[in-house]
A and B are shown apart, each in its own frame.
Chain A
Amino acid sequence: MESQLPAEFIVNVNHEKCRRCKRCVINCSFSAIEFKDKVTPNHRLCVACHRCATFCPESAITITENPLTYKYGYNWTPEIRKNILKQAESGGIILTGMGNPQPYPIYWDHMLIDACQVTNPSIDPLREPMELRTYLGAKPEALEFDGEHDNVSLRTELAPQVKLDIPVVFAAMSYGAISLNAHKALAMAARRMGTLMNTGEGGLHEDLADYTDRIIVQVASGRFGVTSKYLNNSALVEIKIGQGAKPGIGGHLPGEKVGEDISKTRMIPVGTDALSPAPHHDIYSIEDLSQLIYAIKEATDYKKPVSVKIAAVHNVAAIASGIVRSGADIVMIDGFRGGTGAAPMIIRDHVGVPIELALAAVDERLRQEGIRNRASILVGGSIRQSADVVKAIALGADACVIGTAALIAIGCRVCQKCYTGNCAWGIATQKPELVRRLNPEVAADHLCNLLTAWGHEIQEVLGSLGINAIESLRGSRERLRGVGLNQEALDILGIKHAGIGQ
């Protein structure tokens, strides 16, 4: 039966401008444009990825939303009606990609940053050092020294620390969810910028062996590609418990994406579905997690920090505290707006907690328990701009992770069709002819530019705050004020409302 779903977008072709070069036809990976004597769109298939419009030499293509007007219903929105139609036709769970697009409050946009005037001078980052260097890893409560005066030496042995030149690392995105060229671009940029990329749960392709000191290797419930070599060739190891876009559920890489290379990297047969169970089947409680943490530490000779990544859920503060006490060196918290290659819409759009609140609650809880030094906090789940990074660090994060922002920098148009494998920009696809579209060198340049720009912006803010090291911002909630937030939100964030002085 022909679908009754109306098209979401309309592809408008200006036939007067069109030279019939067919570049749009070649570029559209969703088969939304055919050539029948002239360029002929199949509107229904368009996802608004902008590939055709970007590459049309005559700028003859525009994409508009389908102006089809629905009878007004505040309750029965067009989206809800369309979803019902889809499910009535398919009987399936609605799949989607990227992060939660629903209009929940964005707390970042309700926080404002302080600045110096008169009594404490601001600092010019172009004249004075402005330090962003950050170390991830467990810190002891205190340092002990031997000897006296000029002969002092350090008695305390520190747990392994990973240096970041900028407190922004690339988020976990697996080879499988994204292409090898995207992985290469992230690895190259991470090395050049002195930060880290994260393999995600899909193992590490052998082409990236040279970058291992800049790579977080992930151990997820599917255990794909996990070997002793994999664990040891890394900057740090991350145990993935959950993901902000889909807390509490597993993952599924369809068999058609599992070609020769992915099969080798993930260590599964070609063409089989790569299924990540919802829980780790050897972790049913916190003491099991502790066992895995120490198994990994044993396997890496206690030379790698071990991170545990969880989705921000209601009880996140207590969970994070348990994770720190079970031996993790880093807690990575992924907010409910975090991205994904594929997730059921119901989970992505309705489960979890905003990262701003989760971060504030976790940092405060760890301080109350006197164990904040025992682990670094990484946060992600829609860090969109350097201002978000500054606010996250002021709330208490050690560093932020960016996934979607990094993908946008290399061409992603956030069309939310990652799960189809048809990414026209060569990012979320394994089709060789599409992967080829992404030039890793050019993409790496873009990623470096983005981080360089953010680094400068963060330095500007530090200077205006009158501080010259990022650790003086970290957890300094005194420098944030809320606008338009209720008292409960202010209390959770641990900040005062704008208008209240010191």
Chain B
Amino acid sequence: MKCEGLMNPSKKDGYHWVLQRIPSGCAISGIISEEGRRIDGRVIIKSIACMHDRSNGLGGGFAAYGIYPKRKDQYAFHMMFDNMEAKEATEEFFKDVFNVDKDEPIPIHRENGVSNPPILWRYFLEVPENKLEFLSERDYAMKIVMRINSEIEGAFVASSGKNMGAFKGVGYPEDIGKFYKLEDYSAYIWTAHGRFPTNTPGWWGGAHPFTLLDWSVVHNGEISSYGINKRYLEMFGYRLELRTDTEVIAYLFDLLVRKHKLPMDRAVMALASPFWKDIDRMEPGQKKIATAIRQVYGSTLLNGPFSIILGHSTGMIGLNDRIKLRPMTAARKDDMLYMASEESAIREIAPDLDEIWSPKAGTAVIGTLKAEVE
């Protein structure tokens, strides 16, 4: 199926819901300064460019945390629009549901092998207090994101967190990075993705990172358990409109960590569980926890080949599937934690490292922001 607009073809098809899911192979890279030092976007572009051959020009993107310190309490919505009508419809909708403090075009650079971009616009938004009688602010914002993506034709939320943003599109990641002028942004966490979709042309909305509020996911692999992960999330009111595996990962973290309040390492244990043979050998306390997690959260287990880097406002997490069917290397240097599909992508930007290792299958690498950053 050919898709020319930015939207997943499924939404456009109206009555006939011929939904498309798009598996892909990919390159990922992520860096975090645990001290909260801000670094400009050239570094991450250099890292992901090193893995050029892992993508095929049909999708690239970046997530950056800490880029809007002056508006850190406002939701920064990065929007993609197919046309002016979609933009107008969305702005009408925003007026009803948010206080729009500021809106502006996302600055772009036109000369870098990136063709046919949609209209790219960002909005700084506040939730009116009278809307929060029955809902938390985050649940409210999440509902808005889901409504735009599923109901407004030709409009797509690229990112919706506070003090962060996603910059993504169709092209090689290094071209996308230059297109969005990432050298002008400074962030304490950067993640990047180069995409190699295997069965359809890329579309702007489907590029990584996939985000929800301040969660962002870059992902190499395919989630073979997608079917049940999706149905499980739907039980909790999530609407999975994009049919990408990556969407499932972001929502699962949102459900387990934000809604169910699981400690991050326990959430990771649900998503990439230890094998029963290993659980049976754990000491009783750990065994009880691991057993309960698998009993209760079996439907959240991410099965199939994947390596992912998850960004959120206070940290970055790298995770592999249970038998490490996709590559992932991690490294540290001073306050910096690096993760990438290939060691070369780390060496390219940090030749001198304190340590470098290949994380074990199913074991998360967790980078946490040590101090409160502005």
- In the assembled complex, the Cα of A475 lies from the Cα of B227 at a distance in Å of 7
Q: B295, A158: Cβ atoms under 8 Å?
A: yes
Indicate if the CB atoms of B295 and A139 lie closer than 8 Å.
yes
List, sorted by A's number, 8 A–B pairs whose CB atoms are closer than 8 Å.
A120-B304, A143-B266, A149-B263, A158-B292, A158-B296, A468-B303, A471-B301, A475-B299
- Which residues of chain B from 248 to 297 have a CB within 8 Å of any chain A CB? 259-263, 266, 273, 275-277, 285, 288-289, 292-297
Is B228 part of the contact surface with A, judged by Cβ < 8 Å?
A: yes
Contacts of B232 in A (CB 8 A): 475
Which of these binds chain A: B18-26, B172-180, B309-317, B333-341?
B18-26
| B226 within 8 A of partner (CB) | yes
Q: Is the pair B301, A472 in contact by a Cβ cutoff of 8 Å? A: yes
The size bracket of the interface on A is 35 or more
- By beta carbon, the residue of chain A nearest B255 is A142
Q: B231 in the interface, Cβ–Cβ < 8 Å?
A: yes
List 15 other contacts, CB 8 Å, given A149-B263, A154-B292: A118-B198, A119-B25, A143-B262, A154-B288, A154-B289, A161-B295, A467-B225, A468-B323, A471-B298, A471-B301, A472-B225, A472-B304, A474-B299, A478-B226, A478-B227
> A119-B25, A120-B305, A472-B301 are known contacts. Are A370 and B235 too (CB-CB below 8 A)?
yes
Among A161, A472, A476, A479, which residue has the most Cβ atoms of chain B within 10 A? A472
Residues of chain B with a CB closer than 8 A to A468's CB: 303, 322-323
Q: Does A441 touch B at the CB level, under 8 Å?
A: no
> Of A127-135, A242-250, A447-455, which stretch is located at the interface?
A127-135
**Closest-CB distance, B239 to chain A (whole angstroms):** 14
> Beta-carbon contacts of A218-235 to B below 8 Å, as 1s and 0s?
000000000000000000
- B231 near A367: Cβ-Cβ < 8 Å: yes
Beyond A119-B222, A153-B285, A500-B18, is A143–B228 a contact (Cβ under 8 Å)? no
Whether A16 is near chain B, meaning CB under 8 Å from some CB there, is no
Residue pair A116, B266 in contact (C-beta under 8 Å): no
Could you say which residues of chain B place their CB within 8 Å of the CB of A161? 295
Q: Quick check: is A271 within 8 A (CB to CB) of the other chain?
A: no
Contacts from A to B (Cβ < 8 Å): 116, 118-121, 123, 128-129, 131, 133, 135, 137, 139-140, 142-145, 148-149, 152-154, 156, 158, 161, 367, 370, 372-373, 465-469, 471-479, 500-502
Min CB distance A47 to B, Å, is: 45
Nearest CB on A from B236, distance (A): 7
Q: Which residue of A lies closest to B297 (CB)?
A: A143
Q: How far is the CB of B281 from chain A (nearest CB, A)?
A: 13
Residues of A within 8 A of B288 (CB): 154
A442 CA / B228 CA spacing, docked (Å) = 40
Given A158-B295, A475-B299: A123 and B323 interface contact (C-beta under 8 Å): yes
CB distance from B311 to the nearest CB of A (A): 21
Q: Are B234 and A477 in contact (CB under 8 A)?
A: no
Minimum CB–CB distance for A481 against chain B, Å: 12
Question: Contact between A467 and B303 (Cβ–Cβ < 8 Å)?
Answer: yes
Q: Is B224 an interface residue (CB 8 A)?
A: yes
Of the residues A120, A129, A153, contact of B277 by C-beta under 8 Å: A129
Say whether B221 faces chain A, with CB atoms less than 8 Å apart: yes
| Shortest distance from the beta carbon of A479 to any chain B beta carbon, whole Å | 6
User: Is there contact, CB below 8 Å, between A502 and B23?
Assistant: yes
Complex-state Cα separation, A474 to B303, whole angstroms: 12
Contacts A145-B266, A370-B236, A476-B225: A466 and B295 contacting too (C-beta < 8 A)?
no
In the complex, A467→B301 CA distance in Å? 10
Q: Is the CB of A120 within 8 A of B263?
A: no
Q: B295 to A472, Cβ gap below 8 A?
A: no
Q: Do B235 and A140 have beta carbons less than 8 Å apart?
A: no
Expressed in whole angstroms, the Cα–Cα distance for A140 and B228 within the complex equals: 18
